[in-house]
Structure 1
Amino acid sequence: MNGMSYKTQRKLVIIGFLAVPVLLLLTFTYYPAVRLIYYSFTDWDGLNNHVSWLGIDNYREIFSNPDLFGVFVHQIPYVVVGVVQNIVALLFAVILNSKLRGRNVFRVILFLPFIMNAVAVAFMFQYVFDTTTGSLNSLLGLLGLDSWKQSWLGNTSIVNYSLASIGFWRFMGYNMVIYLGALQSIPADMYEAAKLDGAGRMQTLWHMTLPNMTKIIQLNMFLTLSGAIAVFDLPFVLTHGGPAGASETFVLKTVETAFQFNNFGLASAMSVVLLVLTILILGLQNLVIKRKEG
């Protein structure tokens, strides 16, 4: 090492530090991704080494079978509730960014659901939505709204909205904290200048606050939309895709295809389709926001 120049030693140290994470990334991310794409063109059953090449047959099956690609319709409520969730989170962030007494307590209360385990949350809401002894129907009864009582997880028309509302409760505080951090990064003198110019609260929010938060809103909306098309844990724990398959999601169908029917080739193709859809959503979202900025 004494005969090496400082520049050479520096390069060796950098390469040494980067070698291990790069090797782990290649081993556990890129290699499995390449194998996934390969198996998506085969009929691999997940057990035998022998596979038969099917070409695009798996992809043709996905887009032509309404029981597979058609389940994305069940995830529209997650998208709708997710958009509303971001709007409410932004409103709470604006309110709690003001000089409100006890605002730190409210911030903690709203953020607490996010740190809870997803499965624990699902089991908790199983008691909330229970038809006979559930707290939600009991509350409606106490309020004299017996006609509003529902089988929240047994009604095919509202089951997905019921499940999506759990995500609203759990992630709204998390999004609020992100928006709150973005609000606090906006210089205070900008608000003072807007106030001196006679701008009202709504004008300040619409013309100054929101434009300065575009990138954060873009990030949160991407996380919300990608989470909506990849939802799995809530329907898996609470409804198992029921009633009558009304709450099945694409990921739930993928897992079922792989582990229940041992069709890992088709499941791999479904995973690739989900990845492509996520990339398309991100690209479309970026395009819309860039046009708005322009």
Structure 2
Amino acid sequence: MTGLLFAAPATALVAVFVLYPVIGTFRISLTDWDGFSPDRTFIGFANYSSMFADSVFWDSVGRNVLYIAGLFVAVTIGFLIAVLLWTRPRGWVVFRTVFLVPEMMGASIVGIIWLQLWQPVSGGLAAIGKALGIPFLASSPLANPQWAIIVLVLTQVWASTGFYVVISLGGLQNIDPNLLDAASVDGASRLQRLWHVVIPQMRPYLALMTMLAGIAGLRAFDLVWIMTAGGPGNATQLLGTSAYTMAFSRNEFGQAGAIAMTIVVLALVFTAITGRSNTRES
């Protein structure tokens, strides 16, 4: 009973600010509603049927998968940087802080900064591209349907790596030094100690970062919306931006609710798979 009482406030907050909106969104997804009319026409799962038949939806899913893959790269880079900082080289505290700055700024500010850098006329990268004769930089790739999503993913990797550096450093502080000393005495190289001693003890943290990266990739919105708003055309349209466009540009709140519920379901499935694999490894 004591444990339940301590958990009750957090449970109430989750119920009010998470569960209730999710249930409300699901109810909206079963209707034909423009967001303004007091009447909502119940149409069952028709929104889901039309969503699954829409090629734009499946293209958005593919881009979200690419986004998640990019965040997995950020997890890997963050972990490797943390391993280097773990040895506490000179100035390691400064580096740790610098890597975290993009995450502290927030996706909106990061998006504005990189959008200005990629401007084809006044952007700093465009000037560098013209000076060095690099066409890719000289003409903003954000206007290129083939390169825009790649630029967004790379920007997200740059912005997110520091977050995973900090989590990895927290996990590395709990590594048993006796195991490292024993492996060193047995003649294990640094790479062998990393692979056979450090990584096995870091699996819970790696699983946590993988789960967070997957959810962040599914929920991606603000950085993409600020830099491209899903364009050019639909070249950078993700599930989040598609739901926003459906709701506030086309006034199709039922269709937007169906997309939002798809994001919720995919996030839950990914979390369950990640948690189950981590439990098996443990």
The DSSP-based 3-state class of the residue aligned with 1:191 is helix
Distance apart, 1:289 and its partner CA: 4.7
Deviations 1:43-83 (A, max 9, x none): 12222332222111111111111122331222343223212
Give the counterpart of 2:56 among 50, 67, 87: 67
Counterpart contact for 2:71–2:160, Cα < 8 Å = no
Check if 1:214 corresponds to 2:203.
Answer: yes
Amino acid paired to 2:35 = G
Q: Distance in 2 between matches of 1:265 and 1:248?
A: 19
TM-score of the pair, normalised by structure 2: 0.90
**Counterparts in 2 of 1:26 and 1:103: CA distance versus 1, 3 Å:** closer
Aligned residues: 281
Q: Give the equivalent residue in structure 1 for 2:71.
A: 82
Amino acid paired to 1:276 = V
Counterpart contact for 1:58–1:266, Cα < 8 Å = yes
The DSSP-based 3-state class of the residue aligned with 1:156 is coil
Q: Distance in 2 between matches of 1:29 and 1:85?
A: 28
Counterpart contact for 1:69–1:250, Cα < 8 Å = no
Name the % identity.
Answer: 28
Q: Give the equivalent residue in structure 1 for 2:134.
A: 146
1:159-238 equivalent positions in 2, closer than 5 A: 159-238=148-227
Amino acid paired to 2:195 = W
Q: Distance in 1 between matches of 2:7 and 2:144?
A: 53
Q: Give the equivalent residue in structure 2 for 1:4.
A: none
Deviations 1:240-284 (A, max 9, x none): 211121011111110111122222222111111111111122233
Q: Distance in 1 between matches of 2:268 and 2:15?
A: 21
Check if 1:243 corresponds to 2:232.
Answer: yes
Check if 1:130 corresponds to 2:144.
Answer: no
**Counterparts in 2 of 1:147 and 1:258: CA distance versus 1, 3 Å:** closer
Q: Give the equivalent residue in structure 2 for 1:6.
A: none
**Counterparts in 2 of 1:69 and 1:194: CA distance versus 1, 3 Å:** same
Q: Give the equivalent residue in structure 1 for 2:97.
A: 108
Point out where structure 1 has 5 or more consecutive residues left out of the alignment.
Answer: 1-9
Q: Distance in 1 between matches of 2:7 and 2:193?
A: 46
Q: Distance in 1 between matches of 2:29 and 2:172?
A: 44
More displaced 10-residue stretch of structure 1: 37-46 or 52-61: 37-46
Counterpart contact for 1:130–1:152, Cα < 8 Å = no
Distance apart, 1:141 and its partner CA: 4.3
Give the counterpart of 1:253 among 232, 235, 242: 242
Q: Give the equivalent residue in structure 2 for 1:157.
A: 146
Deviations 1:176-227 (A, max 9, x none): 0100110111121111111111111111111111111111111111111211
Counterpart contact for 1:81–1:161, Cα < 8 Å = no
Amino acid paired to 2:193 = T
More displaced 10-residue stretch of structure 1: 82-91 or 37-46: 37-46
Check if 1:54 corresponds to 2:43.
Answer: yes
Taking only aligned residues, the RMSD between alpha carbons, in angstroms, comes to 2.4
Q: Distance in 1 between matches of 2:167 and 2:140?
A: 35
Distance apart, 1:235 and its partner CA: 2.0
Deviations 1:16-65 (A, max 9, x none): x7766555443333333222222221112222332222111111111111
More displaced 10-residue stretch of structure 1: 182-191 or 282-291: 282-291
Q: Distance in 1 between matches of 2:27 and 2:205?
A: 36
